[in-house]
Amino acid sequence: MRLWTIQGIVIYEQLQREGVAYCTKPIVWDDPIFVRAYHWMAEQMRKRIGEPPIKGIEYPMWAWYQYNSAKDNKPPRSPKDMIEGVNAYMEIEIPDNEVLLSDLGSWHAPLNECPLDNWKEIEKETDKLDKEAGRMLRFDEYPLHIQKMIEKSWEAVFDINRRDKTVGRTHRRNRSIQATFWVLKPEHIISVEFLEKKGDVVKRINYG
């Protein structure tokens, strides 16, 4: 499967040094909601594509299958997609059975801890509890069975052919589709370009 990923230079250096790169701590580690979503994604990967090949890996690596659409599939060299400093812009090829695809628009449901599918039934219960509390409860304040219902609804994120108002009823060829996988190896890399981000400016550089 052809993918594109933009990684901080430390990941590329790990790849060169150890012959494999993987994620041990997401950049969003200090955001508890994002951490919960990353944990959930990792659990789904274990169920759908298997356990990480290396002991100790807890979180997925991320790439693009389609950045905007099937025609506009490569990510731009944009500062919003990079961390400050040197980044490695890589075109990669990973076996299909080692990749889990998900719809980027739908992914905002786990990131915001709100229902994605079956939302009418779920909101009927959450609205009642919110009303009793006199405020909108946090995800972790709902009873466990409701948390499980919400998490179950998130699985619709993997149906990249799904067409409803959450994803604008658009065909998959017109969607942003992300990819997660456990490890990146040198043999996966087709090409690499080094880009340095300084504020809002990105320039191509020679590295190494």
Summarize pLDDT for 24-58 with one digit per residue, the tens.
766 655 677 788 899 999 999 999 999 999 988 98
pLDDT band at 19 (very low <50, low <70, confident <90, very high): very high
Which pLDDT score, from 0 to 100, does residue 77 have?
95
Which pLDDT score, from 0 to 100, does residue 24 have?
75
Residue 167 has pLDDT above 70, yes or no: no
Above pLDDT 70, what percent of the chain?
A: 94
* Separation of alpha carbons 143 and 206, rounded Å: 54
Give just the sign of the alpha carbon dihedral 31, 37, 39, 41. Answer: negative
Note the Cα 162 to chain centre separation in Å: 18
Which pLDDT score, from 0 to 100, does residue 28 have?
54
pLDDT band at 129 (very low <50, low <70, confident <90, very high): very high
Which pLDDT score, from 0 to 100, does residue 29 have?
58
- Average pLDDT for 149-164: 90
- Average pLDDT for 97-104: 97
Residue 82 has pLDDT above 90, yes or no: yes
CB 156 within 8 A of CB 162: yes
Average confidence score pLDDT of the chain: 91
CB 202 within 8 A of CB 82: yes
Above pLDDT 90, what percent of the chain?
A: 80
